[in-house]
Amino acid sequence: MADPTPTQVRDFIAAGLSCEHLEVDGDGRHFFATIVSSQFEGKLRVARHQLVYAALGERMREEIHALSMKTLTPAEWAKAGTAPTSPVTHHH
């Protein structure tokens, strides 16, 4: 079976996890994913990774040999300053 492409990995994750932002880079063997999901709220990093592995299911074990991921909630993503700026008015 051919190695998965970053696009396929992205689609696998998106199919099993609702993401606000999802970016996957890789060469077929090693992947790096940035995943922003409100499903990560209140969860530790390990639990967040388990959600992603669950979304990938069997494919994770069989095809994706190395996946590094950055798992963020929408709030963490915004705080990281990497979110696109949108015209949001802040009320103090």
Q: What is the pLDDT of residues 27-59, one digit of tens each?
A: 877 899 999 999 999 999 999 999 999 999 887
Instruction: Note the helical H segments in 25-87.
Output: 45-56, 58-62, 74-79
* Phi, psi angle pair for 7, to nearest 5°: -65, -40
Which residues lie closer than 8 Å to 74 by C-beta, 6 or more apart? 20, 36, 37, 38, 83
- Using the predicted structure, report yes or no on whether residue 2 has a pLDDT greater than 80: no
- Mean of pLDDT values over 20-31: 91
Spatial contact of 36 and 19, defined as CB atoms under 8 Å apart: yes
When pLDDT is cut at 50, 70 and 90, the band that residue 82 belongs to is low
Strands 21-26 and 66-72: what pairing? unpaired
